Structure 1
Amino acid sequence: MAPSAVDWGLAERVAIRAAGSDPFSRSYHADSLIADFDELTARAEEQVAAATGLHSLAGPARARVDDRAAWIRANIASFQRLLRPVTNRLDEKVGDGLLAPVARRAAGAEVGALLGWMSGRVLGQYDLLVIEDEDPEEQDLVHYVGTNVLALEKKYAFPPREFRQWLALHEVTHRMQFTGVPWMREHFLGLVDGMVSAVDQDPSELLGALTRAAEEVRQGRNPLDEGGVAALLSTPAQKELMEQIGGLMSLLEGHGDVTMDRAGADQIPNAVRFAQVLRQRRRQANPVIRVVQKLIGLEAKLKQYEQGERFIEAVEEVGGPDVIDRAWEDPSHLPTMAEIRDPDAWIARLGVAAPAA
């Protein structure tokens, strides 16, 4: 087998080194996480189904409590599947020339540094990618990064069971979106595959991107605001796909936050405080982290939570609490990024009317 365009082994080593260690990973408190998240993930599935009307077509949700290293390994597997069209194309261009090993190691180091940094921040994640050659028992999992959960509970004196249920509600809502809407997973992966497959490795594209960035700056706009370097280097066709992906992700993130608050409203009295703390942590990121967030597009993702919530609130004011179900009927009903920012446009396009009294 030819070597990959990315040295994934190096990526894993760099990421684990960059992730660092946390004393909570060896704490006796960690023993409670597995049993808690098994129980609370199952409970969250019932609550989310009752709140949204969605029911998983893929069986019960399964929780997996990871340390940072395990989360990194799971995401490297996902990255390998996601980036396969790009790495295959790079393999053809780079080949076995003298610079090939250098290029592979450089790519591995960059991916590793990114994953290592992210592993210290993520609390939970639903793994929606299906990897053809992996054990099914290792897929369709709701991951929780135990070290980070424990550290946050300690720092802010969060009631552990309550905070863990709150996290479970958000991640299980994402799983329900992808396993309860029959076409959602394939639609989303089709958009992402189209985006990744269209990547142009021609160096002249970089020059064109820099020219466009300079024009954005002259007009008083930050060229990294709408998706980081990926957006900056995108072709017009890719930008259209990014608009669709951005609209979908904003909807899913906003729907996740709204459902999390509603499904556990009577059992999680500290939900408002949990949300405030996490939003404050995003805002207080130091300048270096903010730059990194912009470069990789993470800051644009953080905006998705707020934009998605505002969209749902706006359309519910017109069509009632069940109006968002229209989005699950067909891919053509999903809001675009422009409609997320202008909910009235989505309301008009779908002919949303006020519910009967």
Structure 2
Amino acid sequence: MSDLPEDPQERDRRLHEALRGIFGDRTDEVLAQMRAQGLDPAALMGGAPPDPGTMQRLMAQLQRMFTGEGPVNTEVAHDLARQVAVAEGDPSLNGAQARSATEALKVAELWLDAVTDLPPSGGPARAWSRSEWVEATLPAWQRLVAPVAASVADALATVMRDQLGDGPDALGLPGGESFPGAPAFPGGMLGGMDPAAMMRGLGSAVFGMQVGQAAGTLSREVFGSTDVGVPLLDEPATVLLPTNVAAFADGLDSPYEEVQLYVALREAAHARLFVHVPWLKAHLHALVEQYARGITIDLDALEAQVRDVDMSDPEALRGALSGDVFGLQHTPEQESTLLRLETALALVEGWVSEVAATAALAHLPHSVPLREMIRRRRAAGGPAEHTFRSLVGLELRPRRSRDAAALFAHLLATGGPAARDAVWEHPDLLPGTEDLDDPTGYEARRTAQADEQSDVDAALAQIFGDLPDEPGSPADPAS
């Protein structure tokens, strides 16, 4: 390598250009991290031999970028999500904001008690900044994306092996050339890693960027922890993000206090549903994972998109994978899963919308226009939801939420809150698309289904009831 330039500006420029080929738009962040950890980035430009310990840490940092464990590089996702979350400002909440938000959540629980038999979630009421929301929800996003991330990483490794062949220099990354005073690394900077394995690592970093971008963007849009209709927290809690609520309320005819109370009702209603319908969370996650695992990767389209991409530039690769690399045709199984998922999301949104509106009607003068504003906002989606579509090939939007709300309103009118909430008693009794098409016929179909199940249970009981008891069982006289 050439001698270190004497001009500090020229030295920094050359150093930035050299690292940009590896880290893309994250170069400034990486340089800052190196300096914060006591590393000398100028060592990369030649000159005096750097300390061997410094080079060891530098190599480890580069290897973490390309060899993240799992289909999604969690470190990359976390760092980028935090950056995106604060890009438009993320002021710390003052005491008054936090008290106002938590009080709104407590009031919402009291109002909901009057309209539904589902009890409060039992978790704490919290007011979060955008960064706090990212920290709490990022693991859930990573779990949702992992199945398709693994498929894309394998497909990318296949394409790269076909294009570039094998060998430590196949990817054109720095290798072989050692740094002055650097310890020996077989095969260059990244240890002679197999190109396919490196591409999986790079794919992991790319998906980490995608997840980080989506989660960070969502943190600037959501009002709480449940806006997307899929539970994102491991423990029960109700959450509000006052900064985002205030941004939404700005320009509306409704006072901020009313807006905050209305979104608090929706958050608390979501939390009650996810906590006290124990199978619902697993049901939604299973449908997302089942759909994602069935995605087919269009290898020809993928190869065309990455053919001219600099494989040493993760940001360029992220841009290439932002397009539609999934198969254009859904399998029949995927179509069925997608329909079930969209119906389930619509039912969650419809129930929450109906319950929150019923609870707000007696207390909030602007509850009707607020409900409509939330409906439109939810139907339109946002940049983060579109990003999520590029990640797993679907949008988490309840396309038939109005139909679902009409179903719950009909059940409320004909049977009261108990009939409306009984929908969640068992996943087998969950309304389907035909019930959204014809809400008035749902009760008859459900009754017929329940009668049929009772007949089956009675027949099974008759069959197995005649069998002798197992030796040693409580009913065995010898026991």
AA in 2 matched with 1:4: G
Segments of 5+ residues of structure 2 without an aligned counterpart are 1-66, 158-193, 304-323, 449-479
User: Which is richer in helix?
Assistant: 1
For 2:340 and 2:380, how far apart are their aligned partners in 1? 29
How far off is 1:41 after superposition? 1.7
1:120 to 198, 206, 220: 220
How far off is 1:332 after superposition? 1.2
For 2:374 and 2:417, how far apart are their aligned partners in 1? 26
CA change 1:233–1:205 in 2 (3 A) is farther
- Structure 2 equivalent of residue 81 of structure 1: 143
The answer as to whether partners of 1:257 and 1:309 remain within 8 angstroms in 2 is yes
- Structure 2 equivalent of residue 212 of structure 1: none
The answer as to whether partners of 1:231 and 1:239 remain within 8 angstroms in 2 is no
- Structure 2 equivalent of residue 40 of structure 1: 104
- Structure 1 equivalent of residue 75 of structure 2: 9
User: Quick check: 1:341 aligned with 2:433?
Assistant: no
CA change 1:104–1:242 in 2 (3 A) is same
Equivalence map 1:264-275=2 (5 Å):
264-275=360-371
User: Quick check: 1:140 aligned with 2:243?
Assistant: no
For 1:178 and 1:102, how far apart are their aligned partners in 2? 36
Deviations 1:77-122 (A, max 9, x none): 1123334555567778869623223212221222222223322221
How far off is 1:48 after superposition? 1.8
- Structure 2 equivalent of residue 109 of structure 1: 209
AA in 2 matched with 1:39: E
RMSD: 3.8
Deviations 1:180-208 (A, max 9, x none): 2343334444444444455556848999x
For 2:152 and 2:368, how far apart are their aligned partners in 1? 47
- Structure 2 equivalent of residue 166 of structure 1: 262
Equivalence map 1:180-329=2 (5 Å):
180-199=276-295, 203=299, 234-279=330-375, 281=377, 297-298=394-395, 301-316=397-412, 319=415, 322-329=418-425
If you compute each CA radius of gyration, which structure gives the higher value, 1 or 2?
2
How far off is 1:333 after superposition? 1.1
The answer as to whether partners of 1:335 and 1:346 remain within 8 angstroms in 2 is yes
How far off is 1:268 after superposition? 1.2
For normalisation by structure 2, the TM-score amounts to 0.56
How far off is 1:144 after superposition? 1.9
Q: Report which stretch shifted further, 167-176 or 273-282.
A: 273-282
How far off is 1:257 after superposition? 0.8
The answer as to whether partners of 2:297 and 2:327 remain within 8 angstroms in 1 is no
Deviations 1:268-313 (A, max 9, x none): 1121232233445567889x89976876644x61534323223323
AA in 2 matched with 1:50: A
AA in 2 matched with 1:105: A
How far off is 1:172 after superposition? 0.9
How far off is 1:262 after superposition? 1.0
AA in 2 matched with 1:145: L
For 2:328 and 2:362, how far apart are their aligned partners in 1? 44
Deviations 1:125-173 (A, max 9, x none): 2383565xxxxxxx32223222211212333264233222211111111
Q: Secondary structure at the match of 2:240?
A: strand
The answer as to whether partners of 1:38 and 1:63 remain within 8 angstroms in 2 is yes
CA change 1:140–1:88 in 2 (3 A) is farther
For 1:129 and 1:152, how far apart are their aligned partners in 2? 22
- Structure 2 equivalent of residue 330 of structure 1: 426
Q: Secondary structure at the match of 1:264?
A: helix
How far off is 1:16 after superposition? 3.3
Q: Secondary structure at the match of 1:124?
A: coil
- Structure 2 equivalent of residue 55 of structure 1: 119
The answer as to whether partners of 2:68 and 2:205 remain within 8 angstroms in 1 is no
For 1:338 and 1:15, how far apart are their aligned partners in 2? 40
CA change 1:340–1:141 in 2 (3 A) is same
The answer as to whether partners of 1:129 and 1:140 remain within 8 angstroms in 2 is no
Deviations 1:314-356 (A, max 9, x none): 445555554323312221110123432332453331139xxxx
The answer as to whether partners of 2:431 and 2:442 remain within 8 angstroms in 1 is yes
Q: Report which stretch shifted further, 319-328 or 7-16.
A: 319-328
Segments of 5+ residues of structure 1 without an aligned counterpart are 132-138, 208-227, 353-357
For 1:275 and 1:186, how far apart are their aligned partners in 2? 28
Q: Report which stretch shifted further, 335-344 or 289-298.
A: 289-298
For 1:231 and 1:253, how far apart are their aligned partners in 2? 29
For 2:422 and 2:346, how far apart are their aligned partners in 1? 16
For normalisation by structure 1, the TM-score amounts to 0.73
The answer as to whether partners of 1:4 and 1:87 remain within 8 angstroms in 2 is no
For 2:114 and 2:236, how far apart are their aligned partners in 1? 21
Number of paired residues? 319
For 1:145 and 1:345, how far apart are their aligned partners in 2? 40
Percent sequence identity over aligned pairs = 24
